[in-house]
Structure 1
Amino acid sequence: MIFARATFTDAVAAFEAAVRAQDSRASGKSFGKLQQSFQRADDAELAAAAPRLAAILPDVPAGPRSVIAVVVGACVERGADPAGCAPAILSELGKALAGATEFVERWAATGGGDLPHGDGSGPEAAVVARVGEDAAQAWWSLPQWEMATVAMLSHRPVRSQVDGRQELVAAARHLAEASGDELKCLIHALLVLDDEPLVVLHRESRSGYRMRMSGLGDNFQLHTLLAAELVGAGHVPGEAPTPEAVAVCRDAPGQVPTTGAFNLAAPDGTWIWNEGTPSDIPLVDDVRLLVLDPPPYSRGWPAGRFFPGMPGELVLEGVLDAAETESWFAKVADAKS
């Protein structure tokens, strides 16, 4: 007799039923089948499964909860609707960050030392005994919550509806500082700006530009698109990036070598590093104000997107007239070396 192999849809239904029934044995068994069958699932199955799995996340035991979140994120990357999944993921992320913060505090209170790093299989018994099961699970699960959250935040409609964004950023930064683990992807994703006005001043030509940016993961991406809009269009002198470099910073796959055209600076003259994010650009009169100075040295990098699944956009909305340009320059200090 030949038995049909369970489909991903079957595994999701079994796992869902076991979780709702609080049957730990059945949920453990169906959890394994769910993981095994994921690779065989087609896009339609994943689209149907993602919101169902997201809906039961609060009831999933702490151990597999973050793994289920990663599965939901993978479904979204394959085309499932992020809007129906993101609220549960972001809510559980907040709980995980709070639990991990509690872990760090308990670790310090019970003797301190280097924070532990697991192999992904779960917290060690000695760690659980020292800080408690819930805090240990939260600490160990942070990489999975980061992955799942980035999958959600790669979509602009999700980014526009994040509640408590600043609190999430603060918690992630605190944990990164305490642990030495940057959580860079999570922090960068939470800091992405959309439909954000930007005034750009080019110091050498004494010219100004009104722009708008969305979906830019870091300042390397911003820098390349700035050069495309200003140098490429002939507004300022310099070497423009290639069309290929511009394309990969917008929505094309891959990376392409490029060279910096400017030095990005804040209105007070301090440098804004390419490794940072557009949120580093200070607000002046409720608008982000960026100054472009000559590059102090030649610098190249692989142009592309920090988040490959997140399209980026920088639009030149207009060239400022001389009077408006000078009014903005009046708010700018001299360049600093």
Structure 2
Amino acid sequence: MSSEHTPPPRQQPTFLTAVAALEAVVADLDDEGFGPALGLVGGLFGSADPSEAAAAGPRLAALLPDAPPFPRAHLAMVVGACVEQGADPVACSGPVLAGLRGALTGAQRLVEGWERTGGGPLPDPEQDDPAEAHERIADPAVLDAWHAHLAVVAWWTLHLWQRAAWAVYAHPAVRTEARGSGVTAALLGLIRRYRGEQHDLKGLAHLAGMLDDEPLLVLDRPTGTGYLLRMSGLSDTFQLHTLLADVLIGGGHLPGVPQDPQVVALARTEFLDGRRVIATGAFNLVAPDGSWLWNEGTPSDIPVVDGVRTLVLDPLPYERSWSAGRFIQEIPGDLRLERVLSPAEAARLLATTAPARSAQQAFGAGQA
């Protein structure tokens, strides 16, 4: 009598076994196997617990330089998701930010190639064929097929690199390291030169340039007083303006009307949740050379003088108001007073500053 044996059920791979399989694919230079292996990693990510995601993040980030160009950005997205689940952001950030740099460079190359070949509307990654874009911008005279391919890949995937970079730049340790190494300066330079309207890079630029645990010297010209403060997580100068008024006027150091507590809370930690709350200006923010510092800018616009960012407060030349809140709501903001300068120290420092420019001069410089 024969007997039938039922084979044991196939065991479902775990997230970390899928990560190991992807590592093997990359080690074997198996570009054709990369997509399916990455698809398995992405498909199992939702079932991974935070400890698995934390362990996988740096391992997956290490694969980015050797991943095939098009799916590389999708791998970066998984790395970013791992960071959001607790993976070490510093350990993951290097390959992610290097990939963003490549994507910005390639996307700008596509824009320039498009202009060189007749201009017109840039390709829509949602609607257009990347092969047609490649054919248009490739220059056979210089055997440019590979650079054209990378430019097309960058254009079609830049939004994914933005999201992955956002995940790592959301952490102060990454911002500090990337700023100290020159990575952020290079990225911001590429963002400033980028001319493709399809990708909005303003938010990422504000996040990347955000300062953390940064000393700020503030000199108030009308009272002749000075203050040393420390700021962290401020994404725009509107936010800094609000918190300066809270700390210095609300703290009783300078005359004026204190900020509305709700406005202050929105500048620090609270979310807008659909509300529209109006903040009002208290000062004119001026650089030591007399040029105005616009609220639409960022605290990184404040110049460094003798190793510390230095800001002069002058009376408001006209009333100002704006919608309260933080440009990047995900990041809490902080500004705290460390010490009040002695009258002699404040007078000495103020004597080195130039008078504020007139409104006409300031607006002319802003439009130049």
Do the aligned partners of 1:55 and 1:88 also contact (CA within 8 Å) in 2? yes
Computed over aligned residues only, the root mean square deviation of the Cα atoms, in angstroms, reads 2.7
- Write out aligned runs for 1:281-320 (5 A): 281-295=302-316, 296-304=318-326, 306=328, 308=330, 310-320=331-341
The residue aligned with 1:114 is 121
Structure 2 CA distance for partners of 1:237 and 1:259, relative to 1, 3 Å: farther
The residue aligned with 2:366 is none
Residue type at the aligned position of 2:185 = Q
Structure 2 CA distance for partners of 1:108 and 1:283, relative to 1, 3 Å: same
Structure 2 CA distance for partners of 1:109 and 1:195, relative to 1, 3 Å: same
What SS class does the counterpart of residue 358 from structure 2 fall into?
coil
Distance in 2 (CA, whole Å) between partners of 1:122 and 1:86 is 31
Distance in 2 (CA, whole Å) between partners of 1:248 and 1:97 is 33
The residue aligned with 2:136 is 130
- Write out aligned runs for 1:2-81 (5 A): 5-81=12-88
The residue aligned with 2:297 is 276
Structure 2 CA distance for partners of 1:248 and 1:334, relative to 1, 3 Å: closer
Give the alignment partner of residue 226 of structure 1, picking from 236, 240, 244.
Answer: 244
Distance in 2 (CA, whole Å) between partners of 1:265 and 1:287 is 15
CA displacement, residues 95-151 of structure 1 (integer Å, 9 cap, x when unaligned): 2222223223322222223332312x8862211212321111112222222222222
Structure 2 CA distance for partners of 1:229 and 1:135, relative to 1, 3 Å: same
Residue type at the aligned position of 1:73 = G
Residue type at the aligned position of 2:193 = H
CA displacement, residues 172-209 of structure 1 (integer Å, 9 cap, x when unaligned): 1101x454744112222232223332221223333221
Do the aligned partners of 1:97 and 1:138 also contact (CA within 8 Å) in 2? yes
Say whether residues 1:154 and 2:161 are aligned partners: no
Q: What's the CA shift for 1:300?
A: 3.3
Structure-2-length-normalised TM-score: 0.80
Do the aligned partners of 1:122 and 1:140 also contact (CA within 8 Å) in 2? no
Structure-1-length-normalised TM-score: 0.87
The residue aligned with 1:190 is 208
- The answer for unaligned runs of 5 or more in structure 1 is none
Structure 2 CA distance for partners of 1:267 and 1:72, relative to 1, 3 Å: same
Alignment coverage as a number of residue pairs: 333
- Write out aligned runs for 1:195-214 (5 A): 195-214=213-232
Distance in 1 (CA, whole Å) between partners of 2:261 and 2:319 is 23
Distance in 2 (CA, whole Å) between partners of 1:136 and 1:64 is 13
What SS class does the counterpart of residue 46 from structure 2 fall into?
helix
Give the alignment partner of residue 259 of structure 1, picking from 279, 293, 302.
Answer: 279
The residue aligned with 2:158 is 142
Structure 2 CA distance for partners of 1:203 and 1:142, relative to 1, 3 Å: same
CA displacement, residues 76-95 of structure 1 (integer Å, 9 cap, x when unaligned): 12211112111111222222
Do the aligned partners of 2:266 and 2:324 also contact (CA within 8 Å) in 1? no
What SS class does the counterpart of residue 218 from structure 2 fall into?
strand
CA displacement, residues 294-319 of structure 1 (integer Å, 9 cap, x when unaligned): 442241323236151x4433221211
Distance in 1 (CA, whole Å) between partners of 2:329 and 2:100 is 19
Identity of aligned residues (%): 45
Distance in 2 (CA, whole Å) between partners of 1:332 and 1:201 is 12
Name which of structure 1's ranges 40-49 and 240-249 shifts more when overlaid on structure 2. Answer: 240-249
Do the aligned partners of 1:156 and 1:194 also contact (CA within 8 Å) in 2? yes
Residue type at the aligned position of 1:205 = T
Distance in 1 (CA, whole Å) between partners of 2:240 and 2:35 is 45
Distance in 1 (CA, whole Å) between partners of 2:80 and 2:261 is 31
Residue type at the aligned position of 1:288 = R
Distance in 2 (CA, whole Å) between partners of 1:144 and 1:297 is 41
Name which of structure 1's ranges 256-265 and 45-54 shifts more when overlaid on structure 2. Answer: 256-265
What SS class does the counterpart of residue 303 from structure 1 fall into?
coil
Distance in 2 (CA, whole Å) between partners of 1:275 and 1:2 is 61
